[in-house]
Structure 1
C-alpha cells in the first residue's frame, strides 16, 4: 500500500474505504496494511491521502539515511570490482557489513515481489544463512543479490537507478562465475530465475534466455525436473500450504514458464513439457481453503501448456493443411475453455496465468491472420480479427478506472499489453478505427510501469514512433 491513513492507529483501521473498494462499490473492512478484499484478489490497496500539516524535514535516520546507505553500497561494489580478487568473499562481507539494508530489501521482496516469482520460502532463506557449505553460501549470496535487484526501480528520477546497476553487475559476475556453475544449488538456480526475469523486464530477452536455459540445465543436475516416486512425469505445483519442500518443484516450474514466455517473444527453442493437459481448472471454488499465491502459481503452470502447443503448431511446417486447421480449431476451443474457467473463478488472484494464456491466444490468432496457408480462408482470418478485438476489450476494460489494478505489475503482462497494442494497429489498418479508445487505455497501463521496467518505456517509444 502506498499510503494509508487512520484516525485511530491503535484500531488498525483507516478512516475511509480504500480506492479500489470505493471505485467498485464494494464493502471495505478498512484494514490499514491491506483490506481483506484487495489481499484476497492480490490487488494493490490504496487509501486516500488524508489532509495533514506539512511533514517535518526528513531526519538523518529517515530517507537521508537510506540514501547514504545506497551510496555506501554503490561505493562498496565499485571498490570490490576494482580489486577483482576473491570476489564472492568480498561481496559477502559487504552484505554482512550492511546487513540491515539488505534485510530491508529482502523484506520488500517478500512483501511485494514474491507473488510474481513465488519460489523462495522465507524459512529456507533464513536457514541458508546458517549454512557452512561453500556452495550453499555462494548460492545464498547470489540469491540475496537477485532478490534485492528485483526490488529496485529502473529509474531514479531522470537517471537509471545506480544501486540497481551495481547489484546487476555484481549478481551477473557471481552467477556466471565458473566456481558457481560447477556447483549448482537450489539457491543459485533461484537467483538465476529471478535474474532472468529481470533481464526480460529490461528488454534483453537473449540474455534472459541464456540464463534460464542454464537454470534448467542446473535444475536437471540437481534433480528438480525428476518425477516423484510412483509417477512417470513431473507433477503440477498443486495449491496448498506453502512449505520449504515445495521450493524445488516451484523453481523448476518457474523456469519452464519463463522459458515459454521468452520463446513467445523472440522465437527461441524450448524443451517440451511432456505432461498431460486438462483444459478446465480443478481448483475448488472456495478460495479460502488455499493459499492464494499457491493457487495463482498453479494456474500459471497450467497456462504454460498453451504456449507449448501454440509454438508447436506454428513451427511444424510439415503438418497437412486439413490437419493444421483441425489442430487450430481444437487448440482455440481449449484455450477459450481454459480462459473462461480462469476468468470466471480467479481473475485478480491468477492475473499472471491470464497474461500467459491470453498471450498464447493472441499469438495463435495473429499467426492465422498472417498465414498464407490454404487451410485458412478469408473468413477464418476475419474471425481471428474478431477474437483478438474481443480480448483487447476485456483486458483494456480492467484498467478503465484504476490502471494499477490490472495485472501489469510484471513483465509478462507488460509484454501482453504491447502485443495487444500492436494488434490494434493492425486491426485499424484493416478498417477497425473504433479501437482508438482501447489503444489509449493500453498506453496508460504501460505508462504506469515505465519507472519499474525498461521494456514499458521502450514499447511506448516504439508505439509513439510508429
Structure 2
C-alpha cells in the first residue's frame, strides 16, 4: 500500500501513447495500457523515448550526381532530425507486428519529418491533390483520406511511407513549388529524399507488396526523374513494377471477378475504389517507365512492364477517380487505348495513348530488317503527327492537363528520327527512297518538332507574373525540360547548316523557358 490513501500507484509512461497522440486525446500514460485504449479495446503502443545524447548524422558515401541541367550538387549529410530513431523489424514474422504495433511509431516519425519541413499533413495532401494529382492520378483521394483518419489507430506503415513521398514531391522546387528559404531548401530537400528512400526500403522489407508502397516507389522515381536523374528513376520504377506484379495490380480481370461476386453495396464500393486506384497506379508505372527509358544512358535495357493491349480500357481521369463513391460503375467510360479519335478522352488517357505510341517506337527499333523498320517507323511518324494534331487543339494554347500527352508525343518524334539519322547501311531502298532521302526527311521532321517545342517555350515565357507565381507543375509536366533539351540538342547539331538561322534564335528562347521553369519562387519575392 502507498502513502496516498492506500491506492496502488500505476506505472506511467514518459509520454502519451501513439493512439492518443494521433487522435489528439488526453492520455493518462498508464502502463501497460492507458485508460482510453483500455476503454475502447485498442492496442495501446508507446513510442520509444529518444536518447538525450546527441549522435552525429551519418554521411552518405556516394551521393547522386548533380542533375543534368546544372543544379548544384547537394550536401552529403542528412540532418539528425531526419534520422529514424527506431529500427524497423526485418525478419519474416515481423509484418504483423509492424502493422499493429509499430505502425504508430512509423507514423510519428513521418509526422515529425513532415513538421520539420515547416508543413502539416493537411498542407502536403492539399497541395498534392491540387497539383501533381492532375498529371498522374494514381492515388484515390477518397481512400487516401479514409486511410488518414482510420478510426482508433494510426495509419499503416506503408501509408505513412506514401505520406513522406508526397511530402517530398510537394516540397520539390524543381517541380515549380514555392520555396520559403531559397537555396538552403535544396539541401533540406536532398536530405528528405534520402530519408524517404531509406524508410521506404525498410518498410518494403517488413511488409508485403501493397498499393501504397508501390505508389511511394513511383513517386520516388518521379522525384529522381524531375531532378535530372533518369537512370536512377528507371531503376526505381523497375522496383515498383516488380512490387506491382507481386501485388497483382496489373490483373484487372481478377478484380472485376471479385467485384462481380460481391453482394454488399459498401464492400462493392470499396472494392471499386481499390480496383480503379490499382488500375491507375499500374498505368502510372507503365507510362513513367517508358518516359524514363527515353532518357537513359544505356538503351539496350529491357522494360519490366508489358504495355496493355490495344483493347485495354484507358485509365480514368482524376475527377472521376475522386467521385467513385457516388458514381454508378456502369457510367464509367470504357474507351480502349487504340481509340485515338474519341472526343471524350481526358488528359490522363491522352497521356496513356501518347505513351502507347512511344512504346511502338521502341518496338519498331527491334525490327531486324532495316527496310521493314523504316517503313514501320514511317507509319508511326504519321500516326504521332495525327495524334498531335488532335491533342494540341484540346490544350487550346493553355498550360494544362493535355500538355503531358503532347510532350510525350513530341519526345517520341525526337526518338524516332534520331534513330533514323544514325542508320548507316550500305543500301537502303525502303519505300523507294535512299538512306540519304530518309536522313533529309528526318532532319526536316526534327526542324518541325523543334519549332513546336519553341512554341511551347514561348507560351511558358509569355505567362503573366501572377500566373507564374502559382505551382508551375499544374501547367507544365515533368517531361518538359527533357523535350526542351532535345530541341537544344537538335539545334546544336544543326549549326553548320545554312538554312537554320531561326534555330539559332530559338536557342535563347528555349534557355529562357528552362530558367523560368526551374526558377525557385520565394514568398518574399511575391511582389506582384
Q: With structure 1 as the length reference, what TM-score do the two structures score?
A: 0.69
Question: Hey, what does 1:450 align to over in structure 2?
Answer: 518
**1:209·1:262 contact (CA, 8 Å) conserved in 2?**
yes
- The separation in 1 between residues aligned to 2:194 and 2:519, in whole angstroms, is 20
- The separation in 1 between residues aligned to 2:342 and 2:107, in whole angstroms, is 42
Choose which of 101, 108, 131 in structure 2 pairs with 1:93: 108
Choose which of 160, 167, 170 in structure 1 pairs with 2:195: 170
Question: Hey, what does 2:355 align to over in structure 1?
Answer: 304
Question: Hey, what does 2:507 align to over in structure 1?
Answer: 439
Question: Hey, what does 2:130 align to over in structure 1?
Answer: 111
Choose which of 340, 343, 346 in structure 2 pairs with 1:295: 346
**2:149·2:155 contact (CA, 8 Å) conserved in 1?**
no
Greater relative CO (CA pairs within 8 A, separation 6+): 2
Residue ranges of structure 1 left out of the alignment (5+ in a row): 1-74, 232-241, 286-293, 454-466
- The separation in 2 between residues aligned to 1:140 and 1:180, in whole angstroms, is 15
**1:193·1:255 contact (CA, 8 Å) conserved in 2?**
yes
Does residue 193 of structure 1 match 2:214?
no
- The separation in 1 between residues aligned to 2:152 and 2:441, in whole angstroms, is 59
- The more displaced of 175-184 and 319-328 is 175-184
**2:200·2:217 contact (CA, 8 Å) conserved in 1?**
yes
Say which structure is richer in helix: 1
- The separation in 1 between residues aligned to 2:294 and 2:451, in whole angstroms, is 22
**1:414·1:446 contact (CA, 8 Å) conserved in 2?**
yes
**2:310·2:338 contact (CA, 8 Å) conserved in 1?**
no
Choose which of 230, 250, 269 in structure 1 pairs with 2:302: 269
- The separation in 2 between residues aligned to 1:332 and 1:143, in whole angstroms, is 39
**2:255·2:275 contact (CA, 8 Å) conserved in 1?**
no
Choose which of 212, 236, 259 in structure 2 pairs with 1:211: 236
**1:396·1:442 contact (CA, 8 Å) conserved in 2?**
yes
- The more displaced of 250-259 and 435-444 is 435-444
Aligned CA-pair RMSD: 3.3
Question: Hey, what does 2:147 align to over in structure 1?
Answer: 128
Question: Equivalences for 1:66-105 in 2 at 5 Å?
Answer: 78-79=80-81, 81=83, 83-86=85-88, 90-96=105-111, 101-105=120-124
Question: Hey, what does 1:338 align to over in structure 2?
Answer: 387
Q: How many residues align?
A: 360
Question: Hey, what does 1:33 align to over in structure 2?
Answer: none
Question: Hey, what does 2:94 align to over in structure 1?
Answer: none
Question: Equivalences for 1:13-92 in 2 at 5 Å?
Answer: 78-79=80-81, 81=83, 83-86=85-88, 90-92=105-107
- The alpha carbon displacement at 1:409 in A equals 2.9
**2:460·2:513 contact (CA, 8 Å) conserved in 1?**
no
Choose which of 489, 492, 512 in structure 2 pairs with 1:422: 489
Question: Hey, what does 2:340 align to over in structure 1?
Answer: 281
- The separation in 1 between residues aligned to 2:460 and 2:481, in whole angstroms, is 16
Residue ranges of structure 2 left out of the alignment (5+ in a row): 1-76, 89-101, 257-271, 312-336, 429-433, 464-471, 522-528
SS of the residue aligned with 1:103? helix
- The alpha carbon displacement at 1:297 in A equals 0.6
**2:217·2:236 contact (CA, 8 Å) conserved in 1?**
yes
- The separation in 2 between residues aligned to 1:343 and 1:401, in whole angstroms, is 13
SS of the residue aligned with 1:411? coil
Distance 1:404 1:246, change over 3 A: farther
SS of the residue aligned with 2:134? coil
Question: Hey, what does 2:209 align to over in structure 1?
Answer: 184
